[in-house]
């Protein structure tokens, strides 16, 4: 590991300094180099690849071997950024399966951290993974792998009970050893409150500018997908012109807390 390699400790130090963390999804070596060149600190190999690369209707069909393959493509090219790999649907349904999946994503794929979706039901899993040396990024709010249970892609935590549950889950997952948290599609005030309560970095997507960093799906922020983009995203390529300029613009706007703007969040 090189001296300037970004680690979970680097991100924690950025959080303490109040320096926003720039994250984007990434699925291949070419974009890994481009994102690093633009100054993106975290490359998330998301199971969103099922939708943007494979043409699947959701992330649910994505298999562990797909995640290992794409993570290895990204990690071979990344020389500085922290590479996080999503654990796909049901790959962490038991503690034993979660350990086996993490072993492949880190051992074969080269990930430096794994991400899983869910709240209090995963406390023991997160605790066991971290006890075995696996850095974990938790994910609360809208959980794409649970889209069939949720009945669609909807904002979460909009009522008092839902907000309280997300806050309690966030604290419990931090206590279990999570190194990082992604909050997706929750009201901006709730995300800002959770970011203020936690000692670990909180990365928002559709969660306002009060988080410690931001993440978007690469294909959304480059305007590469047909149809309507998520309301919390922005077509940076259309504004800045060209891929490299769009990536640099994204990093600059995240660092300057200009993105997300009021039009990208739920108040």
Q: How far apart are CA 113 and CA 85, in angstroms?
A: 6
- Please, what sign has the CA dihedral across residues 31, 44, 89, 225? negative
pLDDT digit string (tens) for 161-194?
999 999 999 999 999 999 999 999 999 999 999 9
Domain 8-264 has CATH 2.60.120.460: no
Q: Given a cut of 80, is residue 49 above it in pLDDT? A: yes
pLDDT band for position 127 (50/70/90)? Answer: very high
Q: Where are the domains of the chain?
A: 8-264
Q: How far apart are CA 39 and CA 52, in angstroms?
A: 23
pLDDT digit string (tens) for 235-252?
999 999 999 999 999 999
Contact, 133 vs 106, CB < 8 A? no
Query: What is the maximum alpha-carbon separation in the chain?
Result: 47
Q: How far apart are CA 130 and CA 174, in angstroms?
A: 11
pLDDT digit string (tens) for 50-90?
999 999 999 999 999 999 999 999 999 999 999 999 999 99
Output the six-digit token pair for 110. Answer: 């080269």
Average pLDDT estimate for 133-138:
98
pLDDT digit string (tens) for 107-116?
999 999 999 9
pLDDT digit string (tens) for 190-222?
999 999 999 999 999 999 999 999 999 999 999
Helical ranges in the chain per DSSP H: 8-17, 29-38, 49-52, 64-77, 95-107, 123-131, 147-150, 160-176, 188-197, 218-221, 236-240, 243-255
Name which residue leads in pLDDT, 92 or 265: 92
Q: Given a cut of 70, is residue 3 above it in pLDDT? A: no
Average pLDDT estimate for 246-260:
97
For the annotated catalytic residues, the residue numbers are 184
Residue with tokens 């904002």: 155
Cis check: omega of the bond before 260, within 30 degrees of 0: yes
Q: How far apart are CA 7 and CA 80, in angstroms?
A: 9
Q: How far apart are CA 215 and CA 75, in angstroms?
A: 18
Q: Given a cut of 70, is residue 226 above it in pLDDT? A: yes
Contact, 237 vs 222, CB < 8 A? yes
Q: Given a cut of 60, is residue 267 above it in pLDDT? A: no
Nearest to 201 by CA among 219, 189, 183: 183
pLDDT band for position 2 (50/70/90)? Answer: low
Residue with tokens 């670990």: 200
Average pLDDT estimate for 22-29:
98
Q: What is the mean pLDDT of the chain?
A: 95
Burial category of 133 from C-beta neighbours within 10 Å (exposed 0-12, middle 13-18, buried 19 and up):
exposed
pLDDT of residue 151: 74
Average pLDDT estimate for 139-158:
88
Q: How far apart are CA 106 and CA 35, in angstroms?
A: 21
């Amino acid at each position: 590991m090189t001296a300037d390699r970004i680690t979970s400790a680097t991100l924690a130090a950025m959080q303490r300094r109040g320096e926003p963390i720039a994250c984007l999804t990434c699925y291949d070596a070419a974009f890994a180099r481009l994102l690093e060149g633009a100054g993106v600190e975290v490359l998330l190999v998301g199971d969103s690849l099922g939708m943007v690369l494979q043409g699947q209707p959701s992330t649910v069909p994505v298999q562990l071997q797909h995640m290992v393959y794409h993570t290895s493509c990204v990690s071979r090219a990344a020389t500085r950024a922290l590479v996080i790999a999503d654990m796909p649907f049901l790959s962490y349904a038991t503690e034993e399966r979660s350990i086996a999946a993490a072993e492949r994503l880190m051992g074969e794929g080269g990930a430096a951290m794994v991400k899983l979706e869910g709240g209090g039901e995963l406390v023991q899993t997160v605790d066991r993974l971290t006890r075995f040396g696996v850095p974990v990024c938790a994910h609360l709010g809208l959980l794409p792998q649970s889209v069939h249970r949720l009945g669609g892609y909807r904002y979460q935590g909009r009522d008092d009970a839902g907000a309280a549950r997300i806050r309690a889950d966030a604290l419990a997952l931090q206590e279990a050893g999570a190194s990082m948290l992604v909050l997706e599609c929750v009201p901006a005030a709730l995300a800002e409150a959770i970011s203020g309560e936690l000692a670990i970095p909180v990365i928002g997507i559709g969660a306002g500018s009060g988080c410690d960093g931001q993440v978007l799906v690469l294909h959304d922020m480059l305007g590469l997908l047909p149809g309507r983009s998520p309301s919390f995203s922005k077509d940076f390529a259309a504004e800045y012109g060209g891929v490299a300029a769009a990536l640099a613009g994204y990093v600059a706007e995240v660092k300057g807390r200009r993105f997300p703007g009021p039009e990208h969040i739920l108040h």
